Structure 1
Amino acid sequence: MAEPQQDRSRATRRRLLDAAVGCLAELGWTGSTVSVVAERAGVSRGAAQHHFPTREDLVTAAIEHVTDERLAQLRADLPALPPGYDRTEHVVLTIGEMYAGKLFRAALQLWVAAASDDTLRAKVVPLEAHVGREAHRLTVEALDADESHPGVRESVQATLDLARGLGLANVLTDDTKRRDRVLREWARSLHRSVHEAG
């Protein structure tokens, strides 16, 4: 039985969005043209333009896709864990991995392009703000932290900022070993901060 047209259309759109994320992460903004993305997705340029008539449309959808994927990845990687230091360490390492992967590299390419493109910046800034708020909220939940205690909110935010910085360090060279050591040490400090605040 033939796949319904709507399902095929959805699958094509998803392939294009995934390809756009891959292109952004690997080829950067300038290399991520509609033609290149379409070729990577295995569809014709015409099919790509049917879903995304312009490069701007494609990039806007890719931004949304990156956002959704990053949040879904974070949710999937932050399961309910038993209390204690193991939970804190798992959360910190998961956040670190989120900022070291392909989705972060794709988002980073968009940040760089948006720095000199007002139209793109207008779309990137609110989406990145949303990602930041959601990542913070999910981290607080995963740590079972109480932000009403002094310093806890700042410690959670420092975790996200540290992971983002370590992700930047990983863009040019594989920084996995150093990142792991730094994050494990930070997890000890974070656990003390959250535990002592209670």
Structure 2
Amino acid sequence: MSATARVPQEERTRAMRQRLMEATVDLLVEKGFSGTTTTLVSERAGVSRGAQLHHFPTKNDLVVAAVAHLTEIRGSDLEAAVARLPEGSGRIEAVVQMLGDHFASPVFTAALELWVAARTDATLHEAVAPLEQRVGRETHRLTVELLGADESVPGVRELVQATLDLVRGLGLANTLGDDARRRRRILKEWSRSLESALARDEKEKP
């Protein structure tokens, strides 16, 4: 087969896999891990069962591939949100609220479904754990950068981690119902405390 004939087939295959990944993530949000079946994924993606099974013979094969896809989405969503952040006054609150929105988004809900399922599924855990660790490190690094925090100052790393733990917890609460108003009030107050603490720590630097 010539290279010219091969490229369109490669593009079709890539597009089909993309649809399968997107359908898997959508169904994880809508129906949870247990309700996400390979049949529903193929129907949602508009892909034949035979084609889907050729690339992903089992549900775990499909979900493991979706984990990597979901990680990319979460990174892209954060990058887009960061680009909209203001400079100057109000930045710390904007950063904290942005993180709160991210962890209350559908992509976090999908990731949460995978965390819970991975707790008792060794194969899934093997795929999910390293990627979640990477996401955690990158999110922490990004938060430090956006807040302009100096983690060499005692207590600052813990403040950053407390911020991330708080937004994750609020994101979890949001899965049981729209908690946006309460979340924003809590994060507004936390932002004030965080800003004061970071400013105090900056003054106390040797």
The two structures have a TM-score, normalised by structure 2, of 0.89
Distance in 2 separating the partners of 1:192 and 1:50: 56
CA contact (8 A) 1:75 1:138 kept: no
What is the correspondence of 1:31-46 to structure 2 with a 5 Å cutoff?
A: 31-46=35-50
- The answer on 1:68 being equivalent to 2:68 is no
Number of residue equivalences = 196
SS of match in other structure, 2:67? helix
1:127 to partner: Cα distance: 1.3
Show the counterpart of 1:113.
Answer: 117
Which letter does structure 1 place at the counterpart of 2:91?
R
Deviations 1:125-147 (A, max 9, x none): 11111111111011111112111
1:101 to 2:105 alignment? yes
> What secondary structure, in the 3-state scheme, does the structure 1 residue paired with 2:104 have?
coil
| SS class of match (1:137) | helix
Deviation for aligned residue 1:6: 2.1
Q: Which residue of 1 aligns with 2:27?
A: 23
Q: 2:144, 2:88 → 1: CA distance? A: 13
Counterpart code for 1:163: V
Structure 2 partner of 1:134: 138
For 1:110 and 1:70, the matched residues in 2 are separated by 14
Offset of residue 91 of structure 1: 0.7
2:197 to 182, 193, 198: 193
Q: CA RMSD in A?
A: 1.7
CA distance in 1, matches of 2:117, 2:198: 37
* Aligned equivalents of 2:70, 2:196: Cα separation in 1: 33
1:52 aligns with 56
Please give the alpha-carbon distance, in whole angstroms, between the structure 1 residues aligned to 2:186 and 2:42: 40
Quick check: 1:180 aligned with 2:174?
A: no
Cα-to-partner distance string for 1:49-107 (whole Å, 9 max, x where unaligned): 233232221111111111111122112211364234x1111110111011101111111
CA distance in 1, matches of 2:158, 2:174: 24
Residues 167-176 or 122-131, more deviating: 122-131
Of 63-72 and 177-186, deviating more is: 63-72
Q: CA deviation at 1:195?
A: 2.1
Match of 2:87 in 1: 82
> Given the alignment, which residue of 164, 169, 174 partners 2:168?
164
Distance 1:181 1:153 in 2: 24
Mean Cα displacement is larger for which, 166-175 or 186-195? 186-195
Larger Rg: 2
Distance 2:9 2:123 in 1: 33
1:122 alignment partner in structure 2: 126
Question: Within 2, Cα distance between the matches of 1:154 and 1:54?
Answer: 41
C-alpha displacement of 1:174: 0.8
